[in-house]
């Protein structure tokens, strides 16, 4: 009996082993059959991903920011509405809020979060639609870098994953996070965390409080619909969801959550102007294009220290726009530091939005006898001739037309010169900048300063350009006048133009009034008196 049972057990064992072997063979053969196509598909997507240039991940056109001579921001030029930020400038609370909202396991996964991807895949199968994405920060960076934001599809997702693995293998986590936060869109036309912080709250990213950080982390998913400028209630709701998620993850406690919700957001009024000047920005484009190459201009992201004085720039803009000028006339002004040639302020036309033609730089108009006399006297002294006070024609005749023109050009004048006695009466054309430079030469004891707009240009790692003050020895010190009045004014010979020169210890301000199409100009007594009282 026992022998029979043992034989039966052996037979059963053999049968079960044979069944297991057949199941195993079927399983691995089926898996191999499925694995080969899967590997081929994966290989194809990785091949497609290899065609993308990874340098694009870190390449982001950004605003070139202008700073005045005191280090105060005074405008932006070139590039996209974006300002770059370094990893060390990211607030710790903001990073915690971002991870809680967008990618809990960012610091530990290799670009793709299997748990999140599996959960999203199951949800999509149940919904029979792409209702869940499970995109990590790296996947979002890949999608936004290479503009893979077309309609959701499996092929697009597969390519995105392949690119994600490439990014993770070439950049560390800090670099990925920084590139993501410099690239992502935050609504209101601004890209990147730094631009968003300035646009919404008027402060740098490093100065964001906890509530502001949570709000910005929250609106990433719907930057247009939840922009606090458009939908403050929706943006606040996103902030609350973020801090509640942080509470669930034990990143904050309940007391902290309530404190954050009670903090005022201190949202910037979108109607308030950021520190900028259209007149200054447009004037600075020209010298910038002379010192930068085309790629630096396109990519932007530079820090430019310029010669401007932000307060003086705003003051001159406001003054000119409020002058009771004759109807149809125009005005222009430029301020120059005669000690080093720094252009402190420039207004090329009336109005808040400057035109392409900058009258302070490009316009040449007649000067007139009263303002030409100090220049003619200096030219006479340079040739050891004594000026005849109040009689520039007599003074000029001592030198003659040819020599006078040669000496006037030493002031930096490059316009048209009249003939004979008319020349000595001021019949020559100057630009406001040239006139400021000429008088700076008089005040500088004959040393003509080279006008300077751009002092220094830096990128995030090095200095690209640095221009020190420069002078040209135009006249001997003995040729310069011993004293000059604080305010000089006068008409050109044809009375088409009116000039005012304001001489200060540290600057010269030139103000021109006239018509673009020259015609006789007559200032009212009210305006003339007002011009004599202006303080720049």
Q: What pLDDT, in 10s, does the model give residues 365-381? A: 999 999 999 999 999 99
Question: How many structural domains are present in the chain?
Answer: 2
414 lies in some domain: no
Q: How many CB atoms lie within 10 A of CB 240?
A: 17
CA 346/CA 413 separation, integer angstroms: 19
Q: Where are the alpha helices (DSSP H) in 409-534?
A: 420-424, 432-443, 525-533
Query: Same structural domain for residues 145 and 39?
Result: no
36 lies in some domain: yes
Spacing of C-alpha 317 from chain mean position: 21
523 lies in some domain: no
Q: Render pLDDT for 140-191 as a digit per residue (tens, 0 to 9).
A: 999 999 988 666 677 888 888 889 999 999 999 999 999 999 999 999 889 9
Query: Same structural domain for residues 41 and 111?
Result: no
Query: What is the mean predicted confidence (pLDDT) over 442-449?
Result: 96
190 lies in some domain: yes
Query: Same structural domain for residues 128 and 208?
Result: yes
35 lies in some domain: yes
Asked if residue 272 has pLDDT above 70, the reply is yes
CATH code at position 187: 1.10.3810.10
Q: Is 536 helix (H, G, I), strand (E, B) or coil?
A: coil
CA 81/CA 112 separation, integer angstroms: 30
Query: Same structural domain for residues 23 and 172?
Result: no
Query: Same structural domain for residues 36 and 135?
Result: no
Q: Render pLDDT for 461-493 as a digit per residue (tens, 0 to 9).
A: 899 999 999 999 999 999 988 888 899 999 999
476 lies in some domain: no
Q: Render pLDDT for 306-335 as a digit per residue (tens, 0 to 9).
A: 999 999 999 999 999 999 999 999 999 999
Please identify, among 242, 262, 282, the residue that sits at the C-terminal boundary of a domain. Answer: 262
CA 75/CA 277 separation, integer angstroms: 6
Query: Same structural domain for residues 105 and 22?
Result: no
Query: Same structural domain for residues 45 and 146?
Result: no
Backbone angles phi, psi at 442, to 5 degrees: -65, -45
Query: Same structural domain for residues 129 and 244?
Result: yes
292 lies in some domain: no
115 lies in some domain: yes
Please identify, among 262, 278, 308, the residue that sits at the C-terminal boundary of a domain. Answer: 262
Length of the chain in terms of residues written: 536
Query: Same structural domain for residues 8 and 103?
Result: no
CA 60/CA 191 separation, integer angstroms: 10
Backbone angles phi, psi at 447, to 5 degrees: -85, 115
Backbone angles phi, psi at 53, to 5 degrees: -85, 115
CA 148/CA 286 separation, integer angstroms: 36
Please identify, among 262, 292, 315, the residue that sits at the C-terminal boundary of a domain. Answer: 262
Q: How many CB atoms lie within 10 A of CB 406?
A: 12
Query: Same structural domain for residues 18 and 167?
Result: no
Query: Same structural domain for residues 108 and 8?
Result: no
Which of 3-17, 41-55, 386-400 comes out lowest in average pLDDT? 3-17
User: Going by C-beta distance under 8 Å and a sequence separation of 6 or more, which residues neighbour residue 328?
Assistant: 515
Query: Same structural domain for residues 45 and 104?
Result: no
Asked if residue 526 has pLDDT above 80, the reply is yes
Note down the domain range covering 125: 82-262
The CA-CA-CA angle for residues 478, 484, 485, to 5°, reads: 170
């Amino acid at each position: 009996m026992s022998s029979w049972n043992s034989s039966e057990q052996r037979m059963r064992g053999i049968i079960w082993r044979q069944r297991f072997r057949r199941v195993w063979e079927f399983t691995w053969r089926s898996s191999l059959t499925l694995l080969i196509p899967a590997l081929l598909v994966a290989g194809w997507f990785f091949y497609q991903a290899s065609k993308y240039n990874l340098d694009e991940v870190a390449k982001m056109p950004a605003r070139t920011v202008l700073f005045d001579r005191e280090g105060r921001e005074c405008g932006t030029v070139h590039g996209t509405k974006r300002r770059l930020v370094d990893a060390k400038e990211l607030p710790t609370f903001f990073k915690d809020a971002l991870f809680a909202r967008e990618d809990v396991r960012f610091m530990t996964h290799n670009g793709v979060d299997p748990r999140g991807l599996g959960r999203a895949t199951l949800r999509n199968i149940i919904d029979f639609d792409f209702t869940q994405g499970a995109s990590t920060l790296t996947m979002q960076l890949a999608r936004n870098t290479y503009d893979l934001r077309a309609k959701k599809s499996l092929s697009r997702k597969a390519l995105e994953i392949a690119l994600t693995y490439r990014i993770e293998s070439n950049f560390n986590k800090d670099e990925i996070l920084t590139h993501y936060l410099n690239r992502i869109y935050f609504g209101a036309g601004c890209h990147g965390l730094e631009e968003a912080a300035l646009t919404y709250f008027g402060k740098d990213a490093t100065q964001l409080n906890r509530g502001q950080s949570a709000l910005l982390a929250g609106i990433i998913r719907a930057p247009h619909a939840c922009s606090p400028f458009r939908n403050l209630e929706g943006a606040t709701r996103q902030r609350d969801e973020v801090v509640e998620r942080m509470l669930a993850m034990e990143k904050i406690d309940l007391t902290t959550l309530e404190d954050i919700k009670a903090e005022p957001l201190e949202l910037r009024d979108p109607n308030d102007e950021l520190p900028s000047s259209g007149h200054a920005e447009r004037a600075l484009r020209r010298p910038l294009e002379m010192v930068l190459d085309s790629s630096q201009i396109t990519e932007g992201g530079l820090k430019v220290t310029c010669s401007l004085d932000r307060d003086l720039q705003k003051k001159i803009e406001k003054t000119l726009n409020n002058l009771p000028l004759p109807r149809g006339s125009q005005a222009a002004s430029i301020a120059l530091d005669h000690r080093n040639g720094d252009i402190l302020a420039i207004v090329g036309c009336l109005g808040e939005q400057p035109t392409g033609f900058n009258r302070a730089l490009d316009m040449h108009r007649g000067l007139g006898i009263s303002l030409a006399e100090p220049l003619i006297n200096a030219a006479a002294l340079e040739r050891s001739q004594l000026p005849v006070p109040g009689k520039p024609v007599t003074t000029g005749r001592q030198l003659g037309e040819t020599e006078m023109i040669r000496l006037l050009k030493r002031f930096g004048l490059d316009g048209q010169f009249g003939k004979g006695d008319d020349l000595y009466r001021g019949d020559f054309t100057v630009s406001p900048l040239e006139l400021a430079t000429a008088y700076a030469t008089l005040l500088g004891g004959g040393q003509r300063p080279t006008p300077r707009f751009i002092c220094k240009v830096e990128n995030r790692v090095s200095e690209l350009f640095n221009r020190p003050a420069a002078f040209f020895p135009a006249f001997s010190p003995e040729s310069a006048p011993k004293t000059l009045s604080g305010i000089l004014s006068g008409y050109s010979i044809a009375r088409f133009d009116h000039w005012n020169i304001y001489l200060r210890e540290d600057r010269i301000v030139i103000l021109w009034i006239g018509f673009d199409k020259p015609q006789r100009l007559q200032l009212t007594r009210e305006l003339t008196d007002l011009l004599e009282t202006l303080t720049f």
